[in-house]
Chain A
Amino acid sequence: MTKKDFKKLFDKKIVLLDGGMGTLLQKYGMPSGVCPEKWAAANPELLKKAHENYVKAGSDIIYTFTFGANPIKLADFRLSDETYEINKKLASIARETSKEVLVAGDISSCGSLLVPFGDIEFETAVNSFKEQVKGLLAGGVDLFVIETMMDIQEARAALIAVKELCDLPVIVTMTFEGERTLMGSDPVTVLVTLQSLGADAVGCNCSTGPAEMVDIIKKMKPYAKVPLIAKPNAGKPRLESGQTVFDMDAGYFSSYSRALVEAGVNGLGGCCGTTPEHIRKINEIRDNLKPVSVERKPYSVVCSNRRYIEIHPSLPFTVIGERLNPTGKKALKEAILNQDMEYIADIAREQTEAGAVMLDVNAGVPGVNEKDVLPAMVQAVTNAVSAPILLDSSDPEALEAALRIYPGRAIINSISGEKEKLEKLLPLAQKYGAMFILLPVNDEGVPESAQERINIIKDVYREARKFGFKKEDILVDGLVMTVASDKNAAIETLKVISWCNKRYKVNTTIGLSNVSFGLPAREFINMSFLLMAISNGLSTAIMNPNNENIIQFVRAGDVLTARDKNAINYIKHYSGKTKAGNEKPAFKKNEKNLYDAIIDGDKEAVPELIRQELISGTLPEDIIDNTLVPAIQKVGDLYERKVYFLPQLIRGAEALERAMAILEPEIAKDEKNIPEKAGKVVIATVKGDVHDIGKNIVAMLLKNHGFNVIDLGKDVDSKLIIDTARENNADIIALSALMTTTMSQMPRVMEMVKKEGLPCKILVGGAVLDKNYADSFGAFYASDAYSGVKLAQKLIKNKNSEA
């Protein structure tokens, strides 16, 4: 079958696939625990019966029963050597079933995880799938189906294996757990990656029922250039009285067909738990179902394995991080030379946290074999962040090595009009479905005028179209030269950007910092030029995202050019701040008073507010008594009423702590003003217990409430606790334990307290404790940090009244 015939088939009708084979064959007697494919090959009549039932039910395409017949999976049954024969035989059985239906050679997961999730190298997987493909081809399949894939990288490996051995159409369906695949790919990322790589149809199968698949298909449809497929389970399998039951009978299952088709499905079938009856029911109604067409989004779309990015002049500006290019960066050069991939990963993280949504990756260091290092850098970046990448290299071998293992859709940076590069790189971009940056340079050099650049852009695009590229697959580089050597350089670039945006309708990019090369105060030039370019419709820029000012201008520019609709992103980012910044969100410093600052947990505002109080003549002890104490009591009250939750309680405590750090030295200037402490507490996490964050919270809150706290830390020996309590004449020993195995230390401490005759009370808390346990050895139990403080206050009050 040709790809053209395949497309025609899906254009004219809803294509009916088959249903579950495994559960059907189990019903026909296939025992559990055996190699299903080997069993089927030994029971051809039963397999044929299963296929025939689907043909009778109305399937247009049936799948060979070769789901796990790849050498890696067959190795579990020591059958790797029989890969070719098993696949050939099972494909032949399907082929013999009927000449009226199409037979798809079925490929699925090798059962082991590929790098980076597991140990199977990408090429090992490709070669394994190739063994299977050869057998299926020999068995006479019409097309291929790659199904039930959980990792996009494994789906890519299988797809590349098929593409490198034949030109038959390929359907690829992945399995989604909720909104993503198991390894974290969303539906659009799956679609974009696979259709770019050459899948002829994409979709989902297994794991979920039809209702959940409606949402997945809806997400894919606006980006789909290929038919979409859905093969749901008959609900989720569950054990009921020792029987495995699938919830959906055939009638109910088929009732979702219309919703799936309206969502955008072109091919329907079933997976686990579905039977020929389920397929027959769909067939009964499919004449009433017509494929829908949905207007495709006009955006360029690239993706990593976990995130897709849309590029268009009407969408928020795309910042591409430039910091993984070693030119002029000594530390990065050394990291590349030493293959220090953790350093590379850190730079990637730093850029995305600063606001880059894509990253340029360049391994061009003299003496480095780019073919080895570029893929390693790509792997490190992909593991660290979800931002899609640009492969910045002119070495075709390095680019191919990186494109091959990149588990998404990358951008090649760049392809120019130079004949040799064009000839080598366009087929590469086509094979791996990459976008590319079109660099308007040719064998005659770098043209100065916009018109000359435009001519090259047209020439390169003409060539690219021969390989199937459309304008949405290209970013045109406006080609920024420094204004220090050519006063018209920026103007010519802006003309190119404007023409691309208004006339040619293609996305654009620039290498921003080039414009200011050789000039002082480069940031002003860069910022001004960026805003001018954005106003001319620039889509993306390769730039330094760590420059906070530029990123802020980008956000503001998006609002002013209506690319940030209703300023949603801007408001989300800057709400609550008066001064823009891309650091961790900060509170606005408005007319807030000290009381509110404590309640809001705004510790940054506290020093200035305290200073103002002191300047106005308020005594430090009055600030504490009249403002801070009521404020922290209010925080506690809000926490007790659950209006506040734990982070807010602690933020309040942190704000108070900062205030006290300023006031205490002031008070200490006059000894008679030093307030009496509420009580003395020795606090520790017990021996063997290494969790101390809960204990730290209690310690902070106790200090907040005027206690003198001696914090011994975590995993503390009981003797040290007792010795410290005795030496400091403690009122309370506060103990924390998280685990059942460590809480037994608490009664021991109590025994030692009694033995020593110490007058202190024991306060205990921790996730596994309860009041009964505390009562059992005479301790006082606090269910959470704040109730611990209140209990401590009560214990001190009782002690004082007893005295």
Chain B
Amino acid sequence: MKDIKVMKSLKPQFNKNLIYTRLGYRRNTTRLNQYEQTNIDYLIDLTENTLNIVAAYRIINILRIDPPYIVLEDQTCLKGKKLSKLLTGCDQALIMFATGGQKIIDLIVNLQKENRLSDAVVVDAAASEITDSALDIVMAHVAHNIRPLGQILTDMRFSPGYGDFDLSQQAELFRILDAEKFGVSLNEAFMLTPEKSVFAVAGIGRMKTGGIND
């Protein structure tokens, strides 16, 4: 579809601490020696170099919001109380997704085959965090593009599977972004392959100036 924008070869900035947190690291409690720290940092670098992140997004008008339902211009109906709240006051929804590609999944599988499950766990966590960070790029890019037009993007985004924004809604987002074209598939349980793929929704509203003085 013409209005789907694609972003390739993305190298997101990410917070390394969040990868450690995903792995159960507790500041001031968990003890790491120099070797372990170096090894984990090595694996994070390896993950970064192996990921081939592609993202896509589409801006679509919101027809109406009747919480918990959000009806989009193309008659897609999304459902979620928190999502409705997020999008209240917004004219448009930003539908976005990012995938880390198949190569990173192959790496995780191969590490397990080589009896390196501890390394695979680190790569798995790093890949999730970095792929999710690619959506920060999408949001910042869109925010910059819409600001001159007097529009503003919500700070937050919601992904299917969190809160009452059911995972089954992934199918709607998958269709809106024609994600199959990017080598991603969705199974009957609404799970994505390659695994390191993520969808999200944010809102776009109109900027009303009033907080500044001439």
Chain A: residues with CB nearer than 8 A to chain B?
Answer: 22-24, 26-27, 30-34, 36, 53, 67-68, 109, 111-113, 116-119, 148, 150, 175, 177-180, 182-184, 206-207, 234, 237-240, 242-246, 249-250, 272-273, 275-277, 306, 349, 353, 383-385, 572, 575-577, 584-585, 587-588, 601, 641-648, 650-651, 653-654, 657-658, 687-691, 693, 696-697, 700, 738-742, 768, 784
Contact = CB atoms under 8 A, between A and B. Distances in A.
B168 interface: yes
Given A646-B24, A647-B40, A740-B166, A26 B150 contact: yes
B161 A739 contact: yes
B167 to A, nearest CB: 5
Contacts of B166: 740
Contacts of A240: 211
A654 B212 contact: no
Contacts of A26: 150, 207, 209
A601 B210 CA distance: 60
B167 A650 contact: no
9 contacts: A27-B214, A32-B149, A183-B11, A183-B137, A184-B11, A588-B35, A650-B121, A688-B191, A741-B191
Given A113-B7, A306-B11, A645-B24, A585 B35 contact: yes
Interface string B179-191: 0000000011111
A27 B213 CA distance: 9
Given A242-B208, A243-B210, A385-B49, 7 more contacts: A32-B207, A113-B7, A113-B141, A118-B7, A306-B11, A572-B34, A742-B191
A643 B30 contact: yes
B97 to A, nearest CB: 16
Contact of B137 (A30, A182, A575, A653): A182
A244 B167 contact: no
Interface stretch (B62-70, B76-84, B112-120): B112-120
A645 B213 contact: no
B197 to A, nearest CB: 11
A113 B195 CA distance: 26
A742 B9 contact: no
Given A276-B214, A384-B49, A645-B23, A690 B193 contact: yes
Contacts, number: 217
Interface of B: 5-13, 20, 23-26, 29-36, 38-40, 42, 46, 49, 89, 108, 112, 115-122, 124, 136-137, 140-141, 144-145, 147-152, 155, 161, 166-168, 187-191, 193, 195, 205-214
Interface of B is mostly: mixed
A693 B36 contact: no
A244 B207 contact: yes
Given A68-B148, A242-B208, A647-B23, A697 B11 contact: no
B21 to A, nearest CB: 9
Among A117, A118, A184, A306, chain B packs the most CB atoms within 10 A around the CB of: A117
A741 B189 CA distance: 5
When A and B form their complex, which 5 residue pairs have the shortest distance between CB atoms, in order from nearest?
Answer: A32-B150, A245-B211, A688-B189, A576-B35, A650-B118
A124 to B, nearest CB: 16
